[in-house]
Chains A and B, each alone.
Chain A
Amino acid sequence: MTDVTLALVLPLLGAFLLPLLAHGVLRRLAVLFGPGLLALSALLLFGAWSTYESPYAIALGGFAPPLGITFYIDRLALLFALAVPLVTLLLWPGGSDEASVRRQSLTLLLAASLTGLAMSGDLFNLYVFYELAAVASYGLAAGSGSGAAFVAAFRYLLLSALGSVIALFGIALIYFKTGTLNLAQLATLSEQLANPQGLAAFAMLVIGFGVKAELFPVNGWVPEVYGAASRRVAALLAGLASKLVVLAIVRILLLVFPGEEARQLLLVLGILGVVSGELAAWQARDIARMLAWSSIGQLGVVFVAFSLPGTIGLVAGVTVALHHLVVKSALFLIAERWGGAIDGLRGAAASSWLGAALFVLFALSLLGLPPLPGFWSKFLVLSGLAEGGTTLQLLALAAILIGTVIEGAYLLRVITRLYAAPDSQAPPPPQRRSSLLASGLLASVLIGAALFINPLWLGLKDLAASGVDTSGYVETVLGSAGGQR
């Protein structure tokens, strides 16, 4: 059962070994090192997924909880953890020169820490993995080496470090009130946090961790970093990293803050994210920053979805999050060589029909055109909001619908440019073959999901039912983890 922790340890070890290995003769072999490790950890996680029966906890180092750190493994954690190596493989920055090796090492570090975020059952351990992921993404953001990338990475670092300080305050506040940071033990003590101090602690954690999840007030770094960094890094941060941080926030919400106010806080921040993100994306005139702002809007929808109570909220949230993971990674990949203004994209379809067709497919799914999965994810959120029916939820419903209209406006603007006749300017170059292959794979995932929507829905409902089972979590961690190694 400790196999699962290896999925985290291997990339972490690899991140530090890779720069040492990649010298001289070994340099050519080192190209395969990172992908090999990621494939191995994906295999391990897939094995754990296929032999999975019920949730279990792993006491790291044999120290029993609540003092020791636990990893909690259920379908939800496995699903997101499995997404990490798979998506990282698709977005792998190849190459064997020194800069590429450094980038690969940071990518491995990011993958390891994101896997940790999916599994960890300890608040401070979550903080450590969050910081690790943040440091790796500063490096990736600055990696393109232009002056703009350095300024963007520095501003990102400052905001994220400020968020960490605020999150640390929240952690200290929780420790004051309860004397523990183990999520399972906190779940048994959640009444002690059902007061203004507890809510303040939750708000601090959400704002602190929300920096990487592109949450509304702390997302100023997003367009700068995604504009300056390479598109693959942007895809990794927008598609993958933000989702794993959202998962960590959702775990904290479900276990420690079951109260209504905490959900309302997420709902309000989500609405503001949808409105501000979509409006800014509509105004953007180059494709990188348009996609960046649009991902802020989409993550607003994710937060709105997770603010819905009970199983339906978790199903809706997981669906929206996974859909956005696939679609936004693919859109950034397709746009990898489409530098420049949206107006400069004229005739892109003529130079690469496949790239343009894939872009249209993903854009339509993002909009929510049935029968693509994007429709079902938005449908789940909207029906959940309509069922809840409070004023705020109806406001969120309206915001998401209006956001979809704006989304339609700017995505169709890009699509019409793609298929327009090329003017005097040269059309953008066709996509790299590896990008086309990766986004084609993501497209087949999308179409597969559309074809098998019913079994998928049943599986997700199962997954969410075990995900919201707080007492099961507590029993698993505190009851049995001491015996399992």
Chain B
Amino acid sequence: MSASIGLVFFVGAIGLSLIGIAGMLLSNHLFRMVLALAIAEAGANLLLILAGYRWDAVAPILVDGQPAQAMVDPVPQAMVLTAIVIGVGVQALALSLVIRVRQRYGTLDMRVARQCMQDELDEAAGVTPGRSQERPAGGRPLPTPIAEAGGRHD
């Protein structure tokens, strides 16, 4: 029984991470990329918890007057706590960067944002854009930036 539950959790942990990583690689929407990152981190944290988990054991809390019994390994749990905190901080930072990108370029599409960044870098560097292999004549089939009112603040 417990073995099959364990297997479900393992498959779940690896599956979550794969979903997250695939989402980060395949998605072009900045916000979805942050969400995918959160999912991938959840998978990694679940795996770390499973590394020290025992199905036949109790929570690792010593209570006076009770005999010691088999306990779950508390070390991975402490580590996951740290990893969750780090993850939340990084996600918050990522979201604040997304907001900034939206304010500057008025887009949440990674391809458009990246193109804008390359153009800005080339311009700042005084290099005329258009190395032919990167920029075929006629332009790339890029979606147009979202043109909403209040999109640009600068």
Contact = CB atoms under 8 A, between A and B. Distances in A.
A227 B101 contact: no
A171 B49 CA distance: 12
B51 A172 contact: yes
A142 B101 CA distance: 11
B44 A169 contact: yes
B125 A227 contact: yes
Interface in A339-391: 339-341, 344
20 contacts: A138-B97, A142-B100, A147-B120, A151-B117, A152-B117, A154-B30, A154-B94, A154-B98, A157-B97, A164-B41, A165-B37, A165-B41, A165-B43, A169-B47, A171-B79, A181-B75, A283-B131, A339-B124, A340-B126, A341-B125
Contacts of B90: 131, 134-135, 157, 161, 164
Contacts of A67: 75
Most B-side CB within 10 Å, residue of A152, A169, A172, A289: A172
A151 B44 contact: no
**Secondary structure call for the A interface:** helix
Interface in B106-146: 113-114, 116-117, 120-121, 124-127, 131
A169 B17 contact: yes
The size class of the interface chain B forms with chain A is: 35 or more
Contacts of B105: 147, 151
A285 interface: yes
A471 interface: no
Contact of B89 (A135, A171, A285, A339): A135
Interface in B71-116: 73, 75-76, 79, 82-83, 86, 89-90, 93-94, 97-98, 100-101, 104-105, 113-114, 116
Contact of A162 (B37, B51, B83, B97): B37
Interface of A: 67, 124, 128, 131, 134-135, 138-139, 142, 146-148, 150-155, 157-158, 161-162, 164-165, 168-169, 171-172, 175-176, 179, 181, 224, 227-228, 283, 285-286, 288-289, 339-341, 344
Contacts, number: 132
Nearest to A177: B51
Contacts of B79: 124, 171, 181
Contacts of A157: 90, 93-94, 97
B127 A148 contact: no
Nearest to B104: A147
Interface string B29-45: 01001100100110111
A162 B40 contact: yes
Given A154-B94, A168-B45, A176 B126 contact: no
Given A67-B75, A162-B21, A165-B40, A151 B125 contact: no
Contact of A128 (B40, B86, B125): B86
Given A142-B100, A151-B113, A285-B127, A228 B30 contact: no
A162 B20 CA distance: 9
A332 B126 CA distance: 18
Contacts of B37: 158, 161-162, 165
Contact of B124 (A131, A148, A158): A148
Contacts of B60: none
Contacts of B125: 227, 285-286, 288-289, 339-341
A152 B116 CA distance: 11
A147 B116 contact: yes
Given A124-B79, A161-B94, A162-B21, A341 B41 contact: no
Contact of B24 (A153, A162, A181, A341): A162
A251 B114 CA distance: 36
Contacts of A152: 117
Contacts of A341: 125-127
A131 B100 contact: no
A87 B75 CA distance: 36
Nearest to B99: A150
A286 B127 contact: yes
Contacts of A339: 124-126
A155 B113 CA distance: 10
Contact of A171 (B24, B41, B48, B114): B48
Contact of A154 (B50, B97, B124, B131): B97
Contacts of B41: 161, 164-165, 168
Pick the 5 closest A-B CB pairs, nearest first. Answer: A147-B104, A286-B125, A340-B126, A151-B117, A148-B120
Nearest to B47: A172
A187 to B, nearest CB: 18
Contacts of B113: 151, 154
B15 interface: no
Contact of A224 (B47, B51, B75, B121): B121
A138 B120 CA distance: 19
A168 B131 CA distance: 39
Contact of A228 (B73, B97, B121): B121
A175 B80 CA distance: 13
A142 B86 CA distance: 19
A411 to B, nearest CB: 18
B12 interface: no
